[in-house]
Amino acid sequence: MEAPAISFAPLDGDRSSTCLAFSEADNRYSPTLKALDAQAQGAISRAAGIARFTGSKKSALDLIAPAGLSLERLIVMGLGAADKYAETDWLALGGRIRARLAGARVSACDILLEASAPQLVSGRHAALLALGFMLRGYEFKKYKTKKKDSDEDEPESGEIKSIRILLAQPEEAKAHFEALRAVGHGVNLARDLVNEPPNVLYPEAFAKRVAELQGRGVSVDVLDQAKLEEIGMGALLAVGQGSVRPSCVAVMRWNGARNPEARPVALIGKGVCFDTGGISIKPAAGMEEMKGDMAGAAAVVGTMLALAERKASANVVGLIGLTENMPGGGAQRPSDIITALSGQTIEVLNTDAEGRLVLADVMWYAQDRFKPQSMVTLATLTGAIIVALGKEHAGLFANQDELAERLTAAGLETGDKVWRLPLTAKYDKMINSKVADMKNIGGREAGSITAAQFLQRFVKDNTPWAHLDVAGTAMASPQSDISQSWASGYGVMLLDRLIAKFYEDK
């Protein structure tokens, strides 16, 4: 299904036969809705009274062929207290509009974006609404076979061709939406990657998908398995030993800063395309969800697309370690000792604690090659983070308060929320090994924290670093007003906002 066209136009222009307008709490009508009610000789307000519609948030009133109006349909949606709306409320409103129109089988609609007071609605609000509309419409159906011939004439729920948002500042809305549309494309790309089955999106295939970003202005290099062996990525390669699929690392560069030599921000994602747990094999129930164990990498790729499409004025490098964790004859065993790219040795006590091994080598490589000004790692790293935080927040760990505060602020603004957990010397001791420099697990307690402590051992020279454990938020997360997909695309809006707000040239 093609994405509907989204456009913006002046509020006082011509209108189509289907319109959607808004009422705030206590039925405070906008000037245009008041005028429509007057034209209809009070039919709208009378219908609202009969239906007990008061303009509360998430409520709606649907009028077919309202008397006295030339409209075929008028939908009035409740805004509630619009003066208290944050960005996430406008996104959610756009998603609810998409769901309402799809359920009503509306193919085209004008949205009269106006409130009782002009200052309550801006061009940016309209653009956020449009982004929410766009994100709610995402579906992953590429492997669904075509309908039978007998079903072809049946209308499809959600077949929306176009919407036009009518408001007082259409040009301002257009300008804001150009950047936000790019972010939406990045989110939906991340969703696509996470939703793909592992027989289609294995490491080499993932790298080929990444290479497509070169047409968008992103420089892409792929380090194949032979190159990884040459440079000594022993930790990452150990994870992939049991798979017939070779491992690789994809490196993406976006140089948009005024100074092309400015140190970049490094975004690093875990890309385990399927995780059986290896020799420490996972239970069969639910293992199919491990196709999403590359969601950290998907978020990095989606962010790089968003930055390129909106031409972000920052230098950013994205690196993803791509491998499979399979229990083949060559797989690493519990008690193996491996040597990471940094030269540090790791006692592997559980082969299912593999994501940290992948990130360790890619982090070290990123710091050696790019000398980043700051570094963020993302991974579906531990089930323990879901026990701690559920599926509403990603776990945040950081070696610098400023970077942690920046990510927290970006998360609150975009809805990709994070919650900071501690890193301390006592937790770090839990991963000390008697036979190697460290072990890859610290025991049952504080599992997410000890995983992050492991990663911190691969941070060089006090580089500002933050880690996001997205196991609960990137896949199988709760459906929302803007996401009905198994894969949420978590992380793209967060990282894009982090860079836009704190790292771009001003």
Instruction: Check if the beta carbon of residue 222 is closer than 8 Å to that of residue 213.
Output: no
How much is the pLDDT for 14? 87
SS3 164: strand
Report angle CA 323, 256, 207 to the nearest 5 degrees. 20
H/E element, 208: helix 203-211
* Amino acid at site 456: Q
Instruction: Check if the beta carbon of residue 455 is closer than 8 Å to that of residue 360.
Output: yes
Domain ranges of the chain: 5-144+160-166, 183-502
DSSP 96-132: HHHHHHHHTT-SEEEEE---SSGGG--HHHHHHHHHH
How much is the pLDDT for 150? 45
| Spatial separation of the C-alpha atoms in residues 50 and 403, rounded to whole Å | 53
Q: For residue range 101-150, what is the model confidence (pLDDT) as tens digits?
A: 999 999 999 999 999 999 999 999 999 999 999 999 999 999 999 765 54
Question: Which two structure tokens, joined as six digits, stand for 7?
Answer: 């456009």
In terms of phi and psi (left: phi > 0; alpha: psi -120 to 50; beta: otherwise), the region of 500 is: alpha
Beta bridge partners of 339: 345
| Spatial separation of the C-alpha atoms in residues 472 and 417, rounded to whole Å | 11
- Which candidate, 216, 394, 162, places its Cα nearest to that of 296? 394
List, as own/partner pairs, every contact residues 40-49 make where C-beta atoms lie below 8 angstroms and the sequence separation is at least 24, other chains included. Answer: 40/66, 40/67, 40/68, 40/69, 41/67, 41/68, 43/67, 43/68, 44/74, 44/76, 48/23, 48/76
Q: For residue range 50-87, what is the model confidence (pLDDT) as tens digits?
A: 999 999 999 999 999 999 999 999 999 999 999 999 99
- Supply φ then ψ for residue 485, to 5 degrees: -100, 150
- Which candidate, 1, 14, 3, 5, places its Cα nearest to that of 163? 5
Other C-beta atoms lying within 10 Å of the C-beta of residue 113: 28
Q: Report, at the CATH architecture level, how domain 183-502 is classified.
A: 3-Layer(aba) Sandwich (3.40)
Distances (CA, A) of 409 to 182, 265, 343, 495, 498: 21, 18, 36, 11, 8
| Spatial separation of the C-alpha atoms in residues 242 and 79, rounded to whole Å | 54
Distances (CA, A) of 399 to 309, 359, 379, 391: 31, 16, 17, 24
What's the number of CA atoms in the CB half-sphere (13 Å) around residue 349? 13
Q: CATH for 5-144+160-166, among 3.40.220.10, 3.30.420.40, 2.60.40.60, 3.40.50.150? A: 3.40.220.10
Identify the segments of the chain with pLDDT beneath 50: 150-156
Please enumerate in sequence order all residues whose Cβ is within 8 A of that of 28, keeping only pairs 6 or more positions apart, or say none. Answer: 55, 115, 116
Distances (CA, A) of 213 to 218, 271, 286, 305: 6, 17, 32, 7
- Which candidate, 40, 197, 191, 31, places its Cα nearest to that of 117? 31
Distances (CA, A) of 352 to 140, 343, 387: 29, 22, 17
| Spatial separation of the C-alpha atoms in residues 286 and 283, rounded to whole Å | 7
Catalytic residues: 282, 356
Please enumerate in sequence order all residues whose Cβ is within 8 A of that of 159, keeping only pairs 6 or more positions apart, or say none. Answer: 1, 102, 105, 107
pTM: 0.96
Other C-beta atoms lying within 10 Å of the C-beta of residue 141: 8
